[in-house]
Structure 1
Amino acid sequence: MLIKPAYSKIDLAAPGDWQQMACGHYMMEQTAELIRAHQRRLKPGKTVAIGSLSPGLNECIKNGAQWLTVGTGSDVAVRSKLTELALKEDSVDNLVAPFVLEFCRHPHQLLREATRVLDDDGVLILTGFNPYSPAVASGFFIRHKKSFPWCGRYFTPVRVKDWLELLGFEVLESEFYVSNFLHHSEHRGSDWSTKLSNLVPGLRAAYFIVARKQTLINRLKPSAQRKQLAVNGRQAATAMTTKQFSKSNKQIRGKL
């Protein structure tokens, strides 16, 4: 489960809404609460949420600003593949991706699309299931294999952060949440799994990552810069030590 390649040769079924997942309403509320708690990290401007779970999350946030929802579901505002987003380059300030990597055939391409559409210093909020959690590990049981979220493919937060860093993102926040092992169809308050997850956060069912797209500025190397100045007929400035400066002054006085 933990060492499978990211690319899948077959298409993966994704949940159409939160109600199709175990404890879906509880997970939606927990995700919305975390997004509100990290509101200060968001960049002022246009926010886009992708995936079939984005409309329900948008309704749950209720922060006054409507998100643009994009995905293949029937309730989204814009119908589009997640690996080929119908958005212009550098046109989005914030991108929210709730539990999409697990059900995407090509998660690398999805993250590349997120990089393409995000503007400079744009913020990516990414949530996923924690493979180390007993809630996800229970997917090995036959009764769970075909139901959401246990029919997905899981990636560790460390692995996802590596992908983000390779794409030029700076991880601002990272934490585990959903203190329940999803052993009920819906969460019914505090129980033994909630208490255990609160004692050991690494056992929680999901992870939450906030990352910022960094803009890299290409600068000429000193040697290349000197060559360019020489071509233009100008002499490149060079640094001088104190002894070199004194010697230069003596030579100038001698000529005078």
Structure 2
Amino acid sequence: MSLAGNDKLTIGAIIKSVRLVQQAGYLKDAGSCAGQILYENYEYLIQQSFHRNLNSIPEILRIVKSKRDKDLIRGYLHLFFPVYANEELEKCKPKKVEEFRREETKALLIDFELYKRLTDAKVEVTFDKLNDIRLEVRFVTTNWKAYLESFLKWPTTDAPASLSELVKVGWIKAGLLSHFGYHVGMSGQPSAMRINILDKLFNATLTIHYFDKSYLSEWAKPSSLERLMKMARTIAALCRNAKRSPGNFTQAICDWEEDLEYLHRTYYKTFLNLQALNWPET
């Protein structure tokens, strides 16, 4: 659903509609909704801010209710818009002209969901950080924002090694694989090392305190069919996602498929009566 308008009246109508949905109890994520309105109407809101017309922005901010969302929106606003907002988002004041680098801001502008994802990953989002990320992936893709969004979803890609240092993320789907040191792609390990890691994970007793018990329970008992299928489905999901994503993941995909074949050949065929379980596709 588009939340873009082109003037005060249409943006006002959008805000009014959102509030009606919110009052009816059907607005699931007020923070993301407000962030999307800010992002999709960026040019108009910037122009209004430069003319000292700040009426629309406070109206958008009133949609936000939770403290966490207010903190996120305030950070997003301060970084990309020529305004300051107080802690409760009740008041806004314009920045001085010299405080706002318009061209640089426009070039580095990311949508609110990507900003939120970076923040959730404990990344301090600054212009310097975003520019460093853009420079690191410039030889891989021209669409650095889409590439970054994909990169944040899983750890084992052939992204530049330095990007992993800029954006250190605890991925959920591949968290345990990553914890055991399993990495693929141009900056990953050779085949023999990856196989050794997979063997260890298949047979390991999992007592890792910083993973949730519910997450660890998904990996079942050591050396079990359930553990094997969890490993295989996780790797297959990463591989499928990479095939649908922008950027060059050729080496990573090759590694994943090679490792899936190893698991299938070495472990899957040794279990009896497996007709009811289908090996995952990539």
TM-score tier by shorter-chain length is under 0.3
Whose Rg is larger? 1
Normalised by the size of structure 2, how large is the TM-score?
Answer: 0.22
Determine which structure has the larger helix proportion and give its number: 2
Bigger relative contact order, structure 1 or 2 (CA pairs below 8 A, ≥6 apart) = 1
Determine which structure has the larger strand proportion and give its number: 1
